[in-house]
Amino acid sequence: MVVAIALWSLEVQPGSPQTFTVPNDLRITNVALGADVTEEGGRTSLKLTYKAPKPSDSDEDEDDEDDDEDEGQEEPTMTILCSLTPGIIEHALVDLILEEEQEVVFEALGKNTVFLTGNYVDQTPLGHNHDNEDYDSEDEDEDLYGIDGIDGSSSDVDIDEIGGEDDSHRFEEVVEEEEEIIEKQVDEAKLSKAQKKKLNKKLKAENGEAVPAGEEKKAEAKEAEKPKEKKKEKKEKAKKDAGEEVKEKKPEVKELAGGVKIEDRKIGTGPQAKKGDRVSMRYVGKFTNGKQFDANTRGKPFPFRIGQGEVIKGWDVGVAGMRVGGERKLTIPGPMAYGNNPPPGMPRNATLLFEVKLVSIN
């Protein structure tokens, strides 16, 4: 079963072959000319060079060791994916899957720039459980993120509800129960010490007189309740104060180059991502009407290198500066997204909204 997990695109200019190592299983679905055409009426072909297994020509009776070593070796192979001519054929639908870590070379034979579009895909069979520890850890992380899968009900959730003021953050781990357990253990430890101390000397009333033997247990119980009451009052006051601060503090919206707007929902505590870093991301992408068009919420996080043109310009600008563990809302205008050359099913110059989380810097 092949499931699309992220958009992918690549620009191939004439005279500049693009050597590309596939970071994750990739399906290429569309090849098109750009908005600006250098040669009107001139044909441009897209050439693909890849390594294919070398067929074996040895007979059953031949046992030559050199022939055995040559079997299965890869050799460069060339093919033409399509040929485009302005005003006649300006785009071609293809269905090509490249596997992870495969090295290929794309080359535009002609004078016009060619754009490739596709999706990173997951080819894991339906119902298959990964044995890899990395996959196991990612699945555990998903329980903490609280994001529904691509085939779940998340497409019905409005973009503003993700990580909003009145909603539990979609990527945030819930630790309230653990905090209460720890506080209870600390309280019990303090009470145990206090009780041991009281066993070594006689209890006294507030007026300084010794407490009668029959009243000793009642006095101990009363004394034990005082720290609990004080702790409860402090906790309620802290929650009230924190609640007032949250209402007053709203995430600041900043506008970056190209009109990209960012809104930090959570500041990470890890290293800060910068241009040239290879990062791994979780994300949910939607149009301004709330309709979801893409997401990466399970399996491998989406990897890319900042500032290398591997993603839309809005991501290069908007993800830079995030810290590991941080969560951010990106509002990307059309020219910084797909502009006039969107993938199939997406309108031209569409403004896109993304909720992103920086998982790691590799």
Active site residues: 283, 293-294, 312, 338, 354
Tokens of 67: 């022939």
DSSP per residue, 3-22: EEEEEEEEEE-TT--EEEE-
∠ CA 350-353-358 to the nearest 5 degrees?
135
Question: For 199, phi and psi rounded to 5 degrees?
Answer: -70, -25
Tokens of 242: 């924190």
Contact predicate 46/12, CB 8 Å: yes
Distance CA(83)–CA(90), nearest Å, equals 9
Distance CA(82)–CA(31), nearest Å, equals 8
CA proximity to 305, closest of 280, 339, 341 = 280
Contacts of 277 (CB under 8 A, 6+ apart): 305, 306, 361, 362
Distance CA(142)–CA(302), nearest Å, equals 14
